[in-house]
Homo-oligomer: A and B are copies of this chain.
């Protein structure tokens, strides 16, 4: 079966090479399945990081997702099991005790399928073997990426691009008063990545994902597809959907109510990033507005600005900081996603469960 998979998925020069760094909970699973469904994408590996759930769960969950998609040929690596300095925190109330909705699979693949090489050296090796070609999509706390740049300071410049789910634009936190989960889980790592990764960097923030949430009616349609993948997704998503509809959760969101698959925005933008090269360049420090009409592409309105992370605040530790006033004098700007073509995004989600 893997051989067959190899045949139909054989990488070509035109394929987009993705390296995924995930803390596989529910939305990471959704994001990975969107990537797996993309026709022109080759996934070079998935490095796992603690995050939504402890590392051991993340490893198991990642293998479960790959099994459902019949893609256990993709190498999975054991990355960091804890943040650099922050106290460990998980999101079990949202993702479940096992990080994936507490619907265990008795036939889940075992951890003996993991690669022997550790996650961070694997990231370094994969990128060194494909210099300038790898798009790294990070949907977890950024610990693995922070350690990678210590191992190999030239790692960031060898990446083609970096897509991150994490951070805030408007000081609207979902974990602390002003902090988003992935950044708060390891603020030092987020700081290292935003300051030392000088490759093109695209950030899907918490507020961005809130403002682009999908109607619950779509969710029903999505999960009622008659496929194994849809059945799996329906199972693992059930708990977090209930949570998203709770009163408590409403306090976290900044706007709109609906289904918010945070990590999938970053992944979808990485899979479909051609549009970003079409973006209109405008003067620095003002908005970089893109109006992409292509029906086939994600519509993203973008903002380019230097960013960093607050490390010291009592309320703001882990908050992403945007330097609109250019006080940091940083040359490297990140692209902050603003809007998404929801129809296109829905289609990518639909395809992921086919």
Shortest C-beta distance, A266 to chain B (Å), equals 21
Number of copies of this protein chain within its complex: 4
A178 and B171 form a contact (CB under 8 A): yes
5 pairs of A and B residues whose beta carbons are closest in the complex: A313-B313, A171-B171, A316-B316, A170-B170, A315-B321
A152 at the B interface (CB under 8 A): yes
Pick from B81, B169, B171, B176: contact of A327, CB below 8 A.
B176
A251 and B324 form a contact (CB under 8 A): yes
B250 and A321 form a contact (CB under 8 A): no
Pick from B118, B143, B151, B319: contact of A152, CB below 8 A.
B118
**A281-297 with Cβ < 8 A to chain B:** 285-286
B311 and A314 form a contact (CB under 8 A): yes
Shortest C-beta distance, A81 to chain B (Å), equals 6
Contact with B along A65-92 (1 / 0, CB 8 A): 0000000000000001110110000000
A177 and B328 form a contact (CB under 8 A): yes
Give CA–CA (A177, B252) in the complex, Å. 24
Known contacts A150-B80, A252-B325, A327-B177: A192-B85 contact under CB 8 Å: yes
In the complex, what residues of B have CB within 8 A of residue A80's CB?
150
Can you list 8 A-B contacts (CB < 8 A)? A82-B153, A84-B150, A85-B191, A85-B192, A121-B151, A174-B325, A251-B326, A252-B324
Q: How many residues of A contact B (CB 8 A)?
A: 51
**Cβ-closest chain B residue relative to A175:** B325
**Cβ-closest chain B residue relative to A82:** B153
A322 and B171 form a contact (CB under 8 A): yes
Give CA–CA (A324, B317) in the complex, Å. 16
Pick from B85, B172, B310: contact of A311, CB below 8 A.
B85
In the complex, what residues of B have CB within 8 A of residue A341's CB?
none
Apart from the given pairs A120-B151, A169-B170, A251-B325, 18 other A-B contacts in the complex at a CB distance below 8 Å: A82-B150, A82-B153, A84-B84, A85-B192, A121-B121, A121-B151, A147-B151, A171-B319, A177-B325, A188-B188, A251-B326, A308-B315, A311-B314, A312-B314, A313-B314, A315-B316, A316-B319, A316-B321
A188 and B84 form a contact (CB under 8 A): yes
**Cβ-closest chain B residue relative to A286:** B250
In the complex, what residues of B have CB within 8 A of residue A153's CB?
81-82
Give CA–CA (A323, B176) in the complex, Å. 9
Give CA–CA (A282, B188) in the complex, Å. 38
**A240-261 with Cβ < 8 A to chain B:** 250-252
**Cβ-closest chain B residue relative to A254:** B324
Q: For A150, A310, A328, which residue has the most chain B Cβ atoms within 10 angstroms?
A: A150
**Cβ-closest chain B residue relative to A313:** B313
In the complex, what residues of B have CB within 8 A of residue A321's CB?
171, 177-178, 315-316
In the complex, what residues of B have CB within 8 A of residue A178's CB?
171, 310, 316, 321
A96 at the B interface (CB under 8 A): no
Give CA–CA (A170, B327) in the complex, Å. 18
**Cβ-closest chain B residue relative to A315:** B321
In the complex, what residues of B have CB within 8 A of residue A173's CB?
325
**Cβ-closest chain B residue relative to A314:** B312
Contact with B along A129-160 (1 / 0, CB 8 A): 00000000000000100110011110000000
**A99-126 with Cβ < 8 A to chain B:** 118, 120-121
